[in-house]
Amino acid sequence: MTQAGGAQTGGAQAAAPEGADPAASVLAAIRFDANGLVPAIAQQHDTGEVLMMAWMNPDSIRETLATARVCYYSRSRGGLWRKGETSGQTQHLRELRVDCDGDTLLLLVQQDGVACHTGRRSCFFRAARDGDLVEIAAPEVSPEALYGQAGCGHPHG
């Protein structure tokens, strides 16, 4: 199965033998958008907390299924984004699900530490209340501790 996608493949772990892509059946069920991407929701597998949403391309899905560590596609960087490779906040895949029309993924994960680059467990820490957005969760760790003094987290590009 040939898919468009400018990113490099994810190294030896994600490479399949010639003619035998172990992710072929899963990829065939996914309807990638005009940019070759599909949105993926990450949910903590046991508590049900929705942690974040980011994007995947075929190569990131292959790598995620092969390694059981979640790898997204960064739209801002234009390449594979191995969640936690800078911060250590890895997502371990427990199950990948595909929705009814194949255009959204749900990743059940074990999140090491925090998912959000702000240091919060979930990226969805602002709630609409009485017409305003209010913060409903505080950082559990400082961005500096996650990314060094530059404090340069990675939004979901």
Question: Cα–Cα distances in Å, from 138 out to 41, 46, 124, 153?
Answer: 21, 21, 11, 16
Question: At its nearest, how many Å lie between a second copy and the CB of residue 98?
Answer: 5
Cα dihedral 11→68→32→89 (10° resolution): -90
Q: Is 112 in the site for a second copy (CB under 8 A)?
A: no
Question: At its nearest, how many Å lie between a second copy and the CB of residue 44?
Answer: 9
Contacting residue, 13, 78, 85, 97, with a second copy by CB under 8 A: 97
Q: Which residue has the tokens 């929701």?
A: 41
Q: Is 95 in the site for a second copy (CB under 8 A)?
A: yes
112/137 with CB nearer a second copy: 137
For a second copy, the binding residues in 41-60 under the rule CB under 8 A are 41, 43, 47-50, 52-53
Amino acid at 126: R
Question: At its nearest, how many Å lie between a second copy and the CB of residue 48?
Answer: 2
Question: At its nearest, how many Å lie between a second copy and the CB of residue 22?
Answer: 5
Q: Which contiguous run of DSSP H or E holds residue 46?
A: none
Give the residue among 26, 25, 34 at the shortest CA–CA distance from 5: 34
Q: Are 32 and 3 in contact (CB under 8 A)?
A: yes
Residue ranges binding a second copy (CB under 8 A): 22-26, 29, 39, 41, 43, 47-50, 52-53, 65, 95-101, 103-104, 106, 116-118, 120, 123-129, 131-133, 136, 155-157
